Amino acid sequence: MPPATRPVIDIRALVKRYGHGDTEVHALRGVSLTVERGEYVAVMGASGSGKSTLMHILGLLDAPTSGTYRLDGTDVNGLDEGALGLVRNRRIGFVFQSFNLIPRTTAYANVELPLTYAGVKAPERRRRTAAALAQVGLSDRADHLPNQLSGGQQQRVAVARALVTSPALLLADEPTGNLDSRSTSDVLDLFDRLSDLGRTIVLITHEDDVAARASRVIRLRDGEILSDTKTGPEVTRGAA
């Protein structure tokens, strides 16, 4: 299947169990899910619904007990840790609630870091880092340290860092959880623009107004998909 037409996420009968015997917990119970290229998907669910487990598996931070997962055409089942690390670095951009920026390092250096790990040469690192900062509207803050930036600006630096490797998937875990309402709106507006540009986004959230910005909302309960709903453009823009 050509790269432009194959799904970014294709999981089948995904099961995740923790513990054994009387202490066994079924975190995921046979979840099947496809996310096409360019989709903007919100995953919701109460505590214990399985959404965090699903996020960890999608991000290659955990492995399922059974089932299959193809990420951008690659069957990740059975890959060793080294191979998983390469796929994770090249094909997934992570955005977390806590920003995870290096405190005494500039915004520019934080964004550049994944390219350094990937062995990208300096001229190309400079070009791509500058482009990523421009995309999130922070070219004029490149030399600032994280403590010199607002919470919303720090999260935009984190988004730029996630984008700089040109990943197939942008995976955001409660990205507005530490932000005030104004910064939340700014970050969600950025996600809207990235979606309009064709980025594939999966956003984990427990907030209805955040999920309303996505074009598709998946709700989990007790490790199973309770609903999978596509929303109209009038709902997905300007709702938060």
232 phi, psi to nearest 5 deg:
-80, 160
* pLDDT in the model for residue 117: 87
The residues of the chain scoring below 70 in pLDDT are: 1-4, 232-240
The count of structural domains within the chain is: 1
68 lies in some domain: no
Annotate 17-51 with b (16+ C-beta within 10 A) or e (fewer): eeeeeeeeebbbbebebebebebbbbbbbeeebbb
* pLDDT in the model for residue 2: 61
* pLDDT in the model for residue 236: 39
Residue 228, beta-bridge partner list = 218
Residue 204, beta-bridge partner list = 43, 173
96 lies in some domain: yes
240 lies in some domain: no
Task: Provide the CATH number for the domain around residue 166.
Answer: 3.40.50.300
Annotate 105-137 with b (16+ C-beta within 10 A) or e (fewer): ebbbbbbbbbbeeeebeeeebeebbbebbebbe
Domain of residue 106 covers: 37-63+84-230
88 lies in some domain: yes
* pLDDT in the model for residue 20: 84
4 lies in some domain: no
